[in-house]
Amino acid sequence: MSELKPQLKPVAWLKPYAANAKIHDDKQVAKIRQSIDKFGWTTAIVTEADGTIIAGHGRRLAALIEPPLSHVPVVIRDDLTPEEAKALRLADNRVAISEIDARLLQEELASLEVSLEGIFDDKELDFMKADLGEINDAPFVEDLEAVVRDAAVSAAKSVETTDARDVKLEKVFGFRSIAGRDEKHLARFLATIEEQTGLTGAQALVEHAKAVCAAA
C-alpha cells in the first residue's frame, strides 16, 4: 500500500469515472473554484492507480475553469481492488449527505470575518443563518449503487430498442436520390460488397461500412 500522501499530478492525467453518480452543475463547479482560489486545496482528489477518479470530480472540473490549473494534488489509492474503489466512491457520495447542527452553523457564520462571496450566494447564506432545525435526508438516495445499476439496465434497454428500429437511408446519408448516370456505379459497388460479404442489400452495405470503420 502506498503512503496516502498527496502528490502533484497534471490535470490531464485524471480520468473521470464514467458511472459517477454525483452530478456537478456549472454553478456548483464555479463555487468550488472560488473556494480553491481563496483558500487553496484543502482536500486532494482521490484516484485509482490509473488516474480514474474515486472522489473529486467536482474539483477536477473546477481546475479546468479559466484560467485552468496545470497540476492538482492527488492521493493515489493503488491499494484498492476495482470493487473496493467502487465502494469508496459510493461511500464518499453518501457521507456528503449528513445532518447539520443549526445552532453551531449560525454561530460560526455570525463570527466569520472572511467573505464567502462567490462560494455561497446571498440566498444560501440566508438559509444557513435561518432556523434550520434538522435536515431531512429522506429524499436522498440510500443505495447509490442500485441506482447506478438500474440506470445502466435502463440505458442498455434503450440502446436495444434504438438498434432494433428501422432507419431510412436518406436520414443516414443526407440525400434521397442521385443522378441517373451514377446509378450504374452504385449498382456495381453494391454487387461487389455483396460478393465480398456474402450478404445482400442493406446488410451487405452495413457490414462493409463496419469493416471500413474498423480498419480506419
Q: How confident is the model over 78-96, as pLDDT tens digits?
A: 888 888 888 888 777 665 5
pLDDT at 118: 61
- Span 22-31, mean pLDDT? 85
Residue 38, CB half-sphere, CA atoms under 13 Å: how many? Answer: 13
Please state, rounded to an integer, the average pLDDT across all residues of the chain: 76
Closest C-alpha among 48, 45, 57, 58 to residue 83: 48
3-state secondary structure 32-95: HHHHHHHHCCCCCEEECCCCEEEECHHHHHHHCCCCCCCEEEEEECCCCCHHHHHHHHHHHHHH
pLDDT at 91: 74
pLDDT of residue 21 exceeding 90 = no
Element (DSSP H or E) covering residue 7? strand 7-10
pLDDT at 93: 67
pLDDT of residue 72 exceeding 80 = yes
Burial tier of 106 (Cβ tally within 10 Å: 0-12, 13-18, 19+): middle
Q: Which domains does the chain have, with CATH numbers?
A: 7-98 (3.90.1530.10), 167-216 (no CATH)
Residue 138: DSSP 8-state: T
Higher pLDDT among residues 47 and 141, named by residue: 47
pLDDT of residue 63 exceeding 70 = yes
What radius of gyration do the chain's Cα atoms show? 27
For residue 56, CA distances in Å to 34, 95, 118, 128 come to 15, 14, 20, 24
